[in-house]
Structure 1
Amino acid sequence: MGIARHATAHWTGDLKSGKGTLSTPQSGLLSETRYAFGTRFGDEKGTNPEELIAAAHAGCFTMALSAKLTEAGFPPESLDTRADVDLSMDGGPQISSIRLKTRAKVPGIDAAKFRELADDAKQNCPVSKALSAVPLSLDAELES
């Protein structure tokens, strides 16, 4: 049996003047977190679906990369990943691309092996698989 997680969304009003909240009842991390048209398409304070997708993807990829590195005998000292999710307005709102950028401190590994494992994590983390319809790029760099 798998692991189930959930989140909830509540919205009142029309698209442009309405407002909503997002919650993660299991963890309690998001509790009535604000989102609205202005937080998604403007600069208002609050979150938006694309930011949450970016956080989920950065976290999932980084954990997958840690697992791949450790399985290969190169446990990482540190991994830092940024995910950029682009929302295109051409033809209506759609996620048009995702860019992962990771910097890693991994003792004893060479650049080619690191890139191989990073590419594997990019292709095979659960969030990458779920978002496979979206073009995904990876900038992976070892730091000394």
Structure 2
Amino acid sequence: MTERKATTVWSGDVARGSGEVSLDTSGAARFTVSFPSRAQEANGQTSPEELIAAAHSSCYSMQFSALLGANGTPPESIETSAVVSFGKKGDGFAILGIALTARATVPGIDGDKFAEIAETAKKVCPVSAALTGTEITLDATLA
């Protein structure tokens, strides 16, 4: 089993406060977060939704690559973006959906098999599995 750790230190109330997220295991980065940057313009700060988008796009790319390789058609390249929508839902806020867009160069694969593997990758990607309560769409294109 592998574990990863991130920590957020928050100061102040939600409307005017802010926090700093550190990627503790890797030490790769520190990010500033605030509610205004989450619900309005980013203004140079990140949000939980952007961090989920980063996790989802990287996880999907890895899963898609693994499945393509297992099919005997390893990719030359995969570019995946994830757009996480955040907004009002009922009396509060929620992640409203995630849109994955993948563009891949995969020699030797036909379009139908590509689409099948792309959809399977969306379903079995560990981040997708962790977010099963959220609608996830996929637009995958073979370059």
> Could you say which TM-score interval applies, normalised by the shorter chain?
over 0.9
Task: Measure, in 2, the Cα distance between the counterparts of 1:96 and 1:21.
Answer: 24
Match of 1:38 among 36, 39, 57: 36
1:96 is matched with 96
Offset at 1:26?
Answer: 1.4
Task: Measure, in 2, the Cα distance between the counterparts of 1:90 and 1:127.
Answer: 22
Give ranges in structure 1 of 5+ residues lacking alignment: none
2:18 is matched with 19
Task: Measure, in 2, the Cα distance between the counterparts of 1:113 and 1:11.
Answer: 47
Give ranges in structure 2 of 5+ residues lacking alignment: none
Aligned residues: 141
Task: Measure, in 1, the Cα distance between the counterparts of 2:8 and 2:121.
Answer: 30
Alignment-mate amino acid for residue 52 of structure 1: L
Task: Measure, in 2, the Cα distance between the counterparts of 1:8 and 1:63.
Answer: 25
More strand by share: 2
Structure 2 length-normalised TM: 0.96
Alignment-mate amino acid for residue 7 of structure 2: T
Cα RMSD, aligned residues only: 0.8
Task: Measure, in 1, the Cα distance between the counterparts of 2:108 and 2:124.
Answer: 24
- What percent of counterpart residues are identical? 45
State how 1:76-87 maps to structure 2 within 5 Å.
Answer: 76-87=75-86
Give every structure 1 segment of 4 or more consecutive aligned residues whose post-TM-superposition deviation is greater than 4 Å. none
